[in-house]
Amino acid sequence: MKKELNKNDRRYAYTHGVIKDAMLELLHETSFIEITVSALCRQAQVGRATFYTHYNNLTEVIEELVEDAIKATDRSSAKSVDGMREVARYLNTDHGLRELESKILLLPICQRVADNPKYNVLFKDTALSEYILSMIYRQEKDYQIAELKKYGLSEKEAEMLFTYMLTGAFAVNKAMGWKKDEEWMRVQRIILNFVCGGMETIEKLK
């Protein structure tokens, strides 16, 4: 069991930073399931005792990295349905990928987090997909459910719709290699028009 550490201590921050950076470097070369504590310690140039002073296992390193990635993502303008409608209207015009950057804050959070060059490698490792998705779900659940309830949905209905929207967005972007190109724009246009049409129907029924 790890001894209590002072998280405000510079040495603590430095050691965690070195270990997390080493994990990202290794993920560029191999899958998470093939990484060992020994390999990570060699990459980070720290001893196993140091590693176990700070972490119980490799999964805790990944958890911190995903938390860092989410914290580094601007969520201030993200609106579950209004944002999708705006992006849908945008994609239905002749705008290109470069102009889409102005609307990036309105995309689902899994797409925005994965855009960060530092953390993109996490999303490309299929062994981490379910874990990352569950973390994003926990982080976004309360906010997104509250947004969806504004359209007359019950708590349970909003939760199920959010689950569908998040897992769907994650699965599609995973299948497309977490990259944005012209094909991605065509697919997003279809999906967003489909979802927004469904939300309009829900509003009428409610």
Q: What is the number of other CB atoms lying within 10 angstroms of the CB of residue 42?
A: 12
Strand ranges (DSSP E) for the chain?
none
Q: Tokens standing for 34?
A: 């093939």
Closest Cα partner for 182 from 91, 104, 117, 113?
91
> Which residues are CB-contacts of 89 (< 8 A; sequence separation ≥ 6)?
none
pTM for the full model? 0.78
DSSP letters of 144-195?
HHHHHHTTT--HHHHHHHHHHHHHHHHHHHHHTTT--SHHHHHHHHHHHHHH
Burial, 106: exposed, middle or buried (Cβ in 10 Å; 0-12, 13-18, 19+)? buried
Q: C-alpha angle 127/130/136, rounded to 5°? A: 125
In this predicted structure, what is the pLDDT of residue 103?
A: 54
206 residues of the chain, pLDDT tens digit each: 455 565 667 888 999 999 999 999 999 999 999 999 999 999 999 999 999 999 999 999 999 999 999 888 765 545 566 666 666 666 667 665 555 555 554 566 777 788 888 999 999 999 999 999 999 899 889 988 888 888 888 999 999 988 998 899 899 999 999 888 888 878 878 887 787 777 778 777 76
Within 10 angstroms of residue 84's Cβ, the number of other Cβ atoms is 22
The whole-angstrom separation of Cα 83 and Cα 94 is: 19
Residues 22/110/75/186 CA torsion (nearest 10 deg)? 130
CA distance 74 to 89: 22
Q: For residues 189 and 194, give the distance between their C-alpha atoms in angstroms, rounded to a whole number.
A: 8
Q: How far is residue 125's CA from residue 31's CA, in Å, rounded to a whole number?
A: 6
